[in-house]
């Protein structure tokens, strides 16, 4: 159980003008599971390697339980990283791989054997001690890599894209397994992912990093309801951005006046709402009702995506196919934007 604090962490690689990670601040509660989310090249893996000690920061500090570990050698930090491509030592058996960290710590042979068996049981791979890494599937290798990290009971577990090399069904299985073990052992865990769904489902809290900067650090649902800025909203699938002014609980824009939730920020800004929160046709009722013209309709199987023109503004909506079956392109359609689903970005 370790509280992780990252203060003003910066990494600038030589020969590059832009910092890979710029002034990153993050507090990770003891025992929590946090996702570092961002597109590839955003600096999330760089951040993780700095925490593990495998990269030296240009500036800033990293603290475990309020003690700086920046000058502690990586092998003594107790932060174990599991790499994206598993990196099982090919010439060792599974038992030797998993027991490696304990062997380094000079644990008794008999105890190592016992702990290795226990941890392999925990990752649901009992009895594979004498096999070689090359005999295992990707999912099994990933679980062995996880077991190898867990067996040393690290202060901090760092997972680099733990699910990205796996098939869809294995991904769900391993996702649940990671969550399960993390809860059971209570190890503070940070994982890196580019998949927002993975981050949302697995993590207690999500840190979104774009271009080396932390954009928002919050519970997963906040990214949908209260995104920090337009880039954050877009990363989470937001598509509606309308300029205007927020004052006294209403948003004034070209398409009309809209009622806002009571905690919406005031001033000039951008109104945003999620496509799936737009109510269409018969469902459109009550506050913030607008008349729109349907300009495009795409059937996506379980959903239908609609483009609706209100004056010069285009609103994207996602609806249940049955609800919008009767509407044709160029037809007038009523829509409503429930105030609780609106948010204003004032940056």
Partner 1 sequence: MSDLTLSSTTSSSNVRARRGFGRVVFYLTIFVMCLMLILPVIAFFINAFAFRWFYPQFVPNEWSLQAWERLRLIPRAGDRSLEGFISLWASVPDVVSALGLSLFIGAVVTGFSIIIGLPAARALGLYRFRGKRIIEFMVITPTIVPPIAFSLGLNINFIRWDLALEAAGFPLDLSGSIIGVSIVHLVPVMPYVVLTLSGVFANYNPDFEAQARSLGAGPVRIFWDVTLPAILPGLFVAALFAFLVSWSQYLLTFLIGQGRVITLPMLLFAAAGSGNNAVIAALSLIFIAPAILILLVASRFLSGESSAVGGFGRV
- Which residues here bind partner 1, judged by CB under 8 A? 52-54, 73-76, 78-81, 83, 85-87, 89-91, 100-101, 104-105, 148-149, 152, 158
Q: Specify the residue, 76 or 347, whose C-beta has the smaller distance to partner 1.
A: 76
Least distance from C-beta 84 to partner 1, angstroms? Answer: 9
- Which strands make up the sheet holding 21-28, listed edge to edge? 21-28, 4-11, 59-64, 67-68
Q: Specify the residue, 76 or 169, whose C-beta has the smaller distance to partner 1.
A: 76
Q: Specify the residue, 152 or 163, whose C-beta has the smaller distance to partner 1.
A: 152
Least distance from C-beta 274 to partner 1, angstroms? Answer: 39
* Separation CA 143–CA 330 (nearest Å): 53
Q: Specify the residue, 80 or 119, whose C-beta has the smaller distance to partner 1.
A: 80
Q: Specify the residue, 132 or 307, whose C-beta has the smaller distance to partner 1.
A: 132
Q: Specify the residue, 66 or 75, whose C-beta has the smaller distance to partner 1.
A: 75
Least distance from C-beta 8 to partner 1, angstroms? Answer: 24
Least distance from C-beta 304 to partner 1, angstroms? Answer: 41
Least distance from C-beta 247 to partner 1, angstroms? Answer: 53
Structure tokens of 57? 């920061």
Least distance from C-beta 230 to partner 1, angstroms? Answer: 36
Q: Specify the residue, 107 or 314, whose C-beta has the smaller distance to partner 1.
A: 107
Least distance from C-beta 101 to partner 1, angstroms? Answer: 4
């Amino acid at each position: 159980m370790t509280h992780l604090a990252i203060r003003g962490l910066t990494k600038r690689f030589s020969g590059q003008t832009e910092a890979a990670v710029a002034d990153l601040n993050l507090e990770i509660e003891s025992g929590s599971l946090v996702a570092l989310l961002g597109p590839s090249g955003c600096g999330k893996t760089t951040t993780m390697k700095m925490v593990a000690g495998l990269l030296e920061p240009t500036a800033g500090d990293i603290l475990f339980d309020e003690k700086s570990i920046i000058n502690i050698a990586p092998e003594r930090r107790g932060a174990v990283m599991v790499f994206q491509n598993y990196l099982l030592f090919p010439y060792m058996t599974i038992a030797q791989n998993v027991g490696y960290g304990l062997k380094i710590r000079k644990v008794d042979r008999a105890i190592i054997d016992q702990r290795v068996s226990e941890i392999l049981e925990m990752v649901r791979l009992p009895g594979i001690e004498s096999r070689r890494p090359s005999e295992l599937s990707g999912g099994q290798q990933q679980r062995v890599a996880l077991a190898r990290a867990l067996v040393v009971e690290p202060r901090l577990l760092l997972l680099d894209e733990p699910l990205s090399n796996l098939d869809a069904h294995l991904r769900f299985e391993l996702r649940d397994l990671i969550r399960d073990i993390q809860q059971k052992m209570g190890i503070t865990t940070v994982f890196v992912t580019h998949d927002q769904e993975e981050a949302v489902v697995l993590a207690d809290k999500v840190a979104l990093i774009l271009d080396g900067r932390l954009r928002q650090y919050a519970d997963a649902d906040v990214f949908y309801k209260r995104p920090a800025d337009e880039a954050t909203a877009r990363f989470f699938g937001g598509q509606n951005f309308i300029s205007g002014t927020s004052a006294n609980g209403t948003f004034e824009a070209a398409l009309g006046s809209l009622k806002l939730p009571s905690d919406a920020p005031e001033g000039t800004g951008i109104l945003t709402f999620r496509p799936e929160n737009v109510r269409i046709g018969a469902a459109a009722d009550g506050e913030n009702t607008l008349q729109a013209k349907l300009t495009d309709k795409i059937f996506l199987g379980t959903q239908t995506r609609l483009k609706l023109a209100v004056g010069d503004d285009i609103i994207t909506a996602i609806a249940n196919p049955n609800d919008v079956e009767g509407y044709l392109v160029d037809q007038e359609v009523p829509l409503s934007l429930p105030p609780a689903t609106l948010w204003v970005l004032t940056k």
